A and B are shown apart, each in its own frame.
Chain A
Amino acid sequence: MKLPNDATITTDLLHPLLNTSWRFYLLVAFLGSIVLMGLSTWIFQMVMGFGMTGINNPIFWAFYITNFVFWIGISHAGTLISAILRLVNAGWRRPVTRCAEVITAFALMIGALFPIIHLGRPWLFFWLVPYPSSRMIWPNFRSPLAWDFFAINTYLTGSLLFLFLPMIPDFAIVRDHSTGLRRKIYGVLALGWRGTTKQWHRLETAMSIMAVGIIPVAVSVHTIVSFDFSMAPVPMWHSTIFGPYFVAGAIFSGIAGLIIAMATLRKFLHLENYLYPLHFQNLGKLLLMMSLLWGYFVFNERLTVWYGNHEADMNVFWVTQTGSFSPLFWTMVTVNFVIPVIILGIKRFRTITGCVIASCGVCVGMWLERFLIVVPSLGHKYLPYSWGTYTPQPVELLITVSTFAAMTLLYTLFAKFVPIISIWELKAGKHPSPALFPEGAREHPLGEVHI
């Protein structure tokens, strides 16, 4: 398939910004009401006391921490697609980068809320900020939660900038294609961008530097989130595998989230001329690879624990494999590994629909995986007298649901105000730099190399 001509590209991609239907308002109202419900639930929890949740002794972390790790994991979509594919000059990334970076930015914001929501005294969360306080005390830098603060804030800052910088030339396009108030606002957002060769060069250099920088930050962020677990002497938490395991799981769930977002955009914004089945097949292959990698890590972890036969670890092991958590465990294995490998491994099934089905399963499975890491271990620590069970309460369920609505709402609003496909990058992909092509290499409008 060939991309439309430049004028059509601009018209198509600016269409959502310049035209709004009643369906948009309905969707925003619906999602907004769910988000408001979530916010009021949180206020209810703060006013009535943290006891409204299902947390108890010994299961002191449950839904909120699961959600925290889940959303931070989803946020790794952007880094993979934007940064890594940019660094290896994979041209097919061009229509996909902004979709992915937006997921990163919003998933991070939502994920970063959960450490505050789960606090006993959330109004004091700012004590994690290293500032000279009148109490003359600073945060404890030996604590994984302090590391979380630095890591997530660095990643959030980096991702927001990585998202915003390539939006500047697109804001200039909107500025030049609109009038009145819209022109003024986008004019401010475009920061006076003209498009001189010097500006392009600076922008591309900054993007390259940030692409190189954001990848180690992304790896470190989810590793540090995994340290929240591996630093504690809890059975089946204190494992060295957690760092890589969590990063692989994050990239896995990130790609799944991206596929779902892209398929939704393609359908509702009529982007069939820009997001091709090839994009989904490529992402589907990456998802397949991550599914196999995830399976490899799970196998590693469980074989080591089973072989070691350490009594405390084995209690947790059996309760997930054959005990009360086994329905969740085997569901997780099915939707994370069995189904994706079948759908994505067989070319006939690796269609857009197939990829979306596999991705939905992966999102469910990865949420379950985080839950199964947190709750069974906490419920079965070293002293059997203190073992316990957990039942989620309405506040936790409502807040969880509202974060999915919040993500969808933020994404919808973003697609309304910013072109969801980077117009200049897409057009630039039609004439990539000759440095990327040795003599005789064939060009493809979607990518530099055809696999």
Chain B
Amino acid sequence: MKALYAMYPDGHAAQRAVDGLRKAGVTDNDITVISAQPMEEFNFSHIGHKTYMWYIACLGGLVGFAGATGLAYITETSWPINTGGMPIVSWWPNLIIMFELTMLGAILASVITLIVTAGLGRRRPALYDPEVTDGKILVGVENPRDASLPDLKKALQIHPNISLKTI
């Protein structure tokens, strides 16, 4: 079985299911909650929130800064051309290039981090249900161990109306 999951009508029901799974001993890493919008008012939305993206963005900015400084300095000194008596390496104008490439580096680093850590562009994992786009919330476990299946089913079945699904 690739995944065991159920669809819930709203965030409160989904939160109960998540709490049930946690009580059944499932770690946050193994719980998958899928929704059509971010559900920030619920505790389960914090699953998987830890990210280094801000630091990577700063690192990207530094790379851009270094690249721009190198580009300006090396190209200006490799063939020194006098324009208007200005210094060959003029820092005031170079600062503009350095600023722009710093920001570009930060932006590209964030986007690349997003694509990589959110798994975008890769083959989509099996656990998904199009009903999510109609407003339902999916709570499930991927690759569950056979031994724990009864506990998982009990945790997900918070109400007789909820139908469990498998992939």
Quick check: do A and B touch in the complex, using CB within 8 A?
yes
B48 touching A197 by the CB < 8 A rule? Answer: yes
**How far is the CB of B96 from the nearest CB of chain A, in Å?**
5
In the docked arrangement, what's the CA distance between A176 and B94, Å? 49
In the docked arrangement, what's the CA distance between A203 and B35, Å? 14
A206 touching B120 by the CB < 8 A rule? Answer: no
CB-based nearest A residue for B64: A154
**B160 interface contact, C-beta 8 A:** no
8 Å CB interface, B111-148 against A: 111, 113-115, 117-125, 127-128, 130, 132-135
The listed residue (A173, A205, A214, A424) touching B53 by CB distance below 8 A is: A205
Chain A residues whose CB sits within 8 angstroms of the CB of B132 once the complex forms: 176, 194-195
8 Å CB interface, B22-64 against A: 32-41, 44-49, 51, 53-54, 57
8 Å CB interface, A171-214 against B: 172-173, 176-177, 191-206, 209-210, 213-214
In the docked arrangement, what's the CA distance between A425 and B36, Å? 10
Binds B, one of A139-147, A282-290, A326-334: A139-147
In the docked arrangement, what's the CA distance between A130 and B72, Å? 10
**How far is the CB of B29 from the nearest CB of chain A, in Å?**
10
**A1 interface contact, C-beta 8 A:** no
B133 touching A432 by the CB < 8 A rule? Answer: no
In the docked arrangement, what's the CA distance between A136 and B81, Å? 12
Chain B residues whose CB sits within 8 angstroms of the CB of A210 once the complex forms: 107, 110-111
Chain B residues whose CB sits within 8 angstroms of the CB of A195 once the complex forms: 34-36, 132
B107 touching A213 by the CB < 8 A rule? Answer: yes
A142 touching B32 by the CB < 8 A rule? Answer: no
In the docked arrangement, what's the CA distance between A105 and B96, Å? 22
Chain A residues whose CB sits within 8 angstroms of the CB of B118 once the complex forms: 193, 198-199, 202-203
The listed residue (B78, B83, B107) touching A161 by CB distance below 8 A is: B107
**How far is the CB of B162 from the nearest CB of chain A, in Å?**
19
A147 touching B38 by the CB < 8 A rule? Answer: no
Interface centre among A6, A138, A435 (most CB of B within 10 A): A138
**A150 interface contact, C-beta 8 A:** yes
Chain B residues whose CB sits within 8 angstroms of the CB of A204 once the complex forms: 38
A158 touching B72 by the CB < 8 A rule? Answer: no
8 Å CB interface, A148-164 against B: 150-151, 153-154, 157-158, 161
Chain B residues whose CB sits within 8 angstroms of the CB of A202 once the complex forms: 51, 53, 113-114, 117-118
B120 touching A434 by the CB < 8 A rule? Answer: no
Chain A residues whose CB sits within 8 angstroms of the CB of B152 once the complex forms: none
**B103 interface contact, C-beta 8 A:** yes
The listed residue (A161, A194, A198, A428) touching B124 by CB distance below 8 A is: A194
The listed residue (B51, B101, B124) touching A192 by CB distance below 8 A is: B124
B71 touching A130 by the CB < 8 A rule? Answer: yes
**B17 interface contact, C-beta 8 A:** no
**How far is the CB of A357 from the nearest CB of chain B, in Å?**
36
In the docked arrangement, what's the CA distance between A213 and B79, Å? 34
**A224 interface contact, C-beta 8 A:** yes
**How far is the CB of B81 from the nearest CB of chain A, in Å?**
8
The listed residue (A138, A141, A158, A213) touching B93 by CB distance below 8 A is: A141
A198 touching B40 by the CB < 8 A rule? Answer: no
**How far is the CB of B21 from the nearest CB of chain A, in Å?**
13
CB-based nearest A residue for B52: A205
Against A, the Cβ 8 Å flags (1 = close, 0 = not) of B61-84 are: 000000000011001101101010
**A239 interface contact, C-beta 8 A:** no
Chain A residues whose CB sits within 8 angstroms of the CB of B103 once the complex forms: 154, 158, 213, 216-217, 220
**A38 interface contact, C-beta 8 A:** no
A205 touching B47 by the CB < 8 A rule? Answer: no
Interface centre among B111, B114, B132, B134 (most CB of A within 10 A): B114
Chain A residues whose CB sits within 8 angstroms of the CB of B86 once the complex forms: 142
B57 touching A427 by the CB < 8 A rule? Answer: no
Chain B residues whose CB sits within 8 angstroms of the CB of A10 once the complex forms: 133-134
B128 touching A194 by the CB < 8 A rule? Answer: yes
Against B, the Cβ 8 Å flags (1 = close, 0 = not) of A118-134 are: 00000000000010000
In the docked arrangement, what's the CA distance between A193 and B124, Å? 7
In the docked arrangement, what's the CA distance between A136 and B47, Å? 53
Chain A residues whose CB sits within 8 angstroms of the CB of B40 once the complex forms: 428, 431-435
A142 touching B93 by the CB < 8 A rule? Answer: yes
A200 touching B133 by the CB < 8 A rule? Answer: no
3 smallest beta-carbon distances between A and B, as pairs: A198-B48, A433-B40, A192-B124
Taking Cβ atoms with an 8 Å cutoff, the residues of A that contact B are 6-7, 10, 130, 136-138, 140-143, 146-147, 150-151, 153-154, 157-158, 161, 165, 168-169, 172-173, 176-177, 191-206, 209-210, 213-214, 216-217, 220, 224, 424-425, 427-428, 431-435
Q: 17 additional contacts, CB 8 Å, given A130-B71, A203-B118, A224-B96? A: A141-B75, A150-B101, A176-B133, A195-B34, A197-B44, A202-B113, A203-B114, A205-B53, A206-B113, A209-B107, A213-B103, A220-B96, A220-B99, A431-B41, A434-B40, A434-B41, A435-B40
Taking Cβ atoms with an 8 Å cutoff, the residues of B that contact A are 11, 32-41, 44-49, 51, 53-54, 57, 71-72, 75-76, 78-79, 81, 83, 86, 90, 93-94, 96-97, 99-101, 103-104, 106-108, 110-111, 113-115, 117-125, 127-128, 130, 132-135
